[in-house]
Structure 1
Amino acid sequence: MKTIFKLLIALNILLLFALPAAVSAEENSNSPLHWGFKKGRNGRQADAGRMFEVILEDHGAVYKGDKKSKDIYLTFDNGYENGYTEKILDTLREEKVPAAFFVTGHYLESAPELVSRMANEGHIIGNHSWHHPDMTKISDEKIMKELEMVRAETERITGKKDMAYLRPPRGIFSERTMAIAREAGYTHVFWSLAFVDWNTDQQRGAQYSYDKIMSQIHPGAVLLLHTVSKDNADALGKVIRDLKEQGYTFKSLDDLMLSKNGIKHPMMY
């Protein structure tokens, strides 16, 4: 009897110490993480580090492709329209290059004709949230509402019901927000190549954008560009043509996911 009593006391003590740890783990799951990485150089891939690599793997997220394949995945963030998206779309059409555009609610409301054109020309439209919040600071329900509002309005404009990819606003996320988004059917798409291109009053010319892209390019790169940048719009054609000459192939995020899942697929472009 004494032995059983001692075992019960020991078990209670273990539970007492285990409870704070469990609470701590739950709290830590929403600790804000800010996306970042060591930039690619001389054809070497960007490196986000072990911690981010593990988190992304656990949640089925991506930020780059195969280091052995000279594939590029071109993505744009569209928070608002600044008059350059039409030129970017013209260039993509001329060069037969697919892209993904991550849109906000403001963009959907202010530039529906451009969103329609993106879809009609075969580009992927991704979710960048409705109000562009730090999603680690809002409830599960509000996260779902942010995502659903974008999906529903995109469907209304384009007729396309499904939306598969999410880019968290400002690159801020947590394991909680990733889990919620994944439950809603989204894959987080981060990036392995970017630079400060969104300041519209600090544009430096097409050569600046070109140099920033070419200096970081690497096999499997997921490029993040902002369509508000005149520099990007002016440089994009030369970037695409020169990278094609270097043996790079532009593919879609769907290709990237197929490749990640080990499914053999034909080259689209």
Structure 2
Amino acid sequence: MRGKRGLQAAYFVSDSTGITAETLGSALLANFPGVEFRRHTIPFVDTIAGAHNVAQDVRKATVVGAEPLVFATVKSAEILRELGESGAVVIDLLGGHLRELEDALGSPASEQLGQYHGVGNIERYFARMRAVEYAIEHDDGQSMRALDIADVIIVAPSRCGKTPTTMYLALQYGLLVANYPLTDDDYPADGLPAAVSRYVDKCFGLTTTPLRLSQVRHERRPSSTYSSLAQCTLELRRAEDLYRRNRVPFLNSSTKSVEEMSAVIMQSMRLRS
């Protein structure tokens, strides 16, 4: 890398929402843990004038720091050329792959912008919205209604990552996901809590490390029994014993992102979006 380490500007530029540029660009940058990146996401750059403004901003970053990186998901060759005038290293995340697909499919790529993150298939869109409504209704054991139609029921002690994982699976994949909190009242029974015991085949457990759980809980209730290391250790040990006795698959969430946890859950439960 030609830039000065520790001061690397990274721009994610897109003619749509910028989500794809940020996701793919960040995946590439993750391979360079020794470099600190200052990240900027710039969506809806769909005109030459807009690209010119971005190029000016990037050029300023070139002057004050290291040579910037621009990760671009734009279809227009003219816009790409304008971005190239910035003096940055421009990485076209779509271009080569689109040409390969055009050759393989014998069909030109659509020139319409923002197709991936648009509404697209209306049925799929409404399925995701229904899944989000289901997730909200069934968050933290608030409702036991219609658990029979759930794709998965996430079971875990408080603050192990149930809610963000539930919402990600619902919004990203349109899956019907409920989650249920394990509390002191659910022990020392051998089986799962009565509310979810009928659906053991749909259950997936989460755990974490006692120290991590204590830290997270301390932010919510500092200096409480709830956040004490002893209480966290006890709850996690009980939960893992419960998972093993009932053959509920589970994973440790302490070092995994929501995306990684969701991928493991989908693979383990053989779910498809």
TM-score interval (norm. to shorter): under 0.3
The structure that has the greater radius of gyration is 2
Bigger relative CO (Cα 8 Å, ≥ 6 apart): 1
Structure 1 length-normalised TM: 0.25
Structure 2 length-normalised TM: 0.25
